[in-house]
Amino acid sequence: MSELKIDVHEKLPMAQMIPLGLQHLFAMFGATVLVPLLVNGGVGTTVIPPNVALLTAGAGTLLFLAITQFKVPAYLGSSFAFIAPLIAVGTQYGPSYALGGAAAVGLLYALVALVISLIGVDWLDRVLPPVVIGSVIIVIGLGLASTGVGMAGLSGEQVSLANVDVRISLFTLTVAILASVFFKGFLAVIPILIGVVAGYVFALLQGAVDLTPVREAAWFALPAGHRVAFSWQATAVLVPVGLVTIAEHLGDILVLSRVVDRDYYKDPGLHRTILGDGLATMLAGFLGGPPNTTYGENIGVMAITGVYSVWVIATAAVMAILLSFMQKFGALIQTIPEPVMGGITIMLFGVIASSGIRTLVESGIDFGHKRNLIISSVILVLGIGGAKLQLGPITLEGMALAAIVGIVLNLVLPSEMNAKDRVSSR
């Protein structure tokens, strides 16, 4: 921990603001750009250009800061929770409907913010307890497992090391694992980014990278994404996932409050932080970017440096927006071969699933109680199994269906079950 403490409203000279902002830019960059790459790879076409994701992350962060009255130094970036539903909707209905569904998620945030402003937050603990959230997070990771394995070239018939895609994906995975385990300091925070860079260089040496798009791209251009379109089906797939990211938001704001020694649940109020997050997500959808979420990576940067200034966060957001206008940079990102991203996802999706397990463990969920076991089991099978259920014009599937069923089970199953019914050991 740094001895230096720069408080939330303190401004620094620009000579200090820029490097501090760059630090936050590096912290959010890998995950923010990775989400559109994974979505594009899963759909097989460009749903979200990576430079648009940078634009919407920066613009969403500035909007969040304004709505929270410049009291909450949080950075917003692309949300991993929406990868699977974006792929599902993008594949079935097209990129425009995927973005429309993402934009609609912001309405759910706004509704929750309104309810919180009226009656408080206690009801959220009842609707979204750890047994539901932890299980859904596991589904988010494992539900994407087949997509990651396919991108890595490790499914199908030609899965030997003679296949260049297999070599690239396994090399990328190996570097990411080694970086995560053995690197120290700042490098230990960015093993995914290190793995992507190493895998890209290896793919270049293997002749698997086509740099033609980079040569043909202009140096500067407006970042352009797909226009949004709306349908009940797309909205029904994406909006329920917002319940999971709202729970993630609650945790991030709580941690941030502890880091900067403030109670953001009270001032400016949780209703403002959730509204800011939701409107940032809505803005992202209309601009052609992925849904946003508060980033724990940037909270970690503040905890390490002791610099909590919202002006540093705003500087990082402006930098992200400026970077998004560099078309050659966006074209370079899109030349990253699919096996590179596949190798990364093998570890990344597993880490997401493991974080769900960690949520269950740290919350003290006892699976010896039938109620917990039933809720979690149903969520896992419906979500990972890719279940679908049509209700009139709306089709619920995968993670969205699993989350809704889990919430309903948690509300209707009597809590006394945990007190008197235990699973017999065999």
Strand partners, 326: 220
**Within a 13 Å sphere around the CA of 40, how many CA atoms are in the beta-carbon half?**
25
Write down the residue that tokens 């724990």 correspond to. 296
* pLDDT for position 2: 44
Q: Which amino acid is at 300?
A: G
What's the CA angle centered on 282, arms 293 and 61, to 5 degrees? 45
Contact 412, 132 (CB under 8 A): no
Q: Cα(285)–Cα(274) distance, rounded to whole angstroms? A: 17
Quick: pLDDT tens for 229-254.
Answer: 998 888 888 888 888 788 778 877 87
**Does the CA dihedral 23-348-344-106 come out positive or negative?**
negative
**CB burial class (10 A; 0-12, 13-18, 19+) of residue 416?**
exposed
Query: What pLDDT is stored for residue 394 in this prediction?
Result: 65
Q: What is the pLDDT of residues 31-89, one digit of tens each?
A: 788 889 888 888 888 889 888 999 999 999 999 999 999 999 999 999 888 888 899 89
Integer-rounded Cα radius of gyration of the chain = 21
Q: At residue 232, what is the residue type?
A: W
Stretches in the chain below the pLDDT threshold 70: 1-4, 27, 30, 185-190, 304, 392-395, 416-426
Instruction: Annotate the chain with three-state secondary structure.
Output: CCCCCECCCCCCCHHHHHHHHHHHHHHHHHHHHHHHHHHHHHHCCCCCCHHHHHHHHHHHHHHHHHHCCCCCCCCEEECHHHHHHHHHHHHHCCHHHHHHHHHHHHHHHHHHHHHHHHHCCHHHHHHCCHHHHHHHHHHHHHCCHHHHHHHCCCCCCCCCCCCHHHHHHHHHHHHHHHHHHHCCHHHHHCHHHHHHHHHHHHHHHCCCCCCHHHHHCCCECCCCCCCCCCCHHHHHHHCCHHHHHHHHHHHHHHHHHHHHCCCCHHHHHHHHHHHHHHHHHHHHHHHCCCCEEECHHHHHHHHHHCECCHHHHHHHHHHHHHHHCEHHHHHHHHCCCHHHHHHHHHHHHHHHHHHHHHHHHHCCCCCCEHHHHHHHHHHHHHHHHCCEEEECCEEEEHHHHHHHHHHHHHHHCCCHHHHHCECCCC
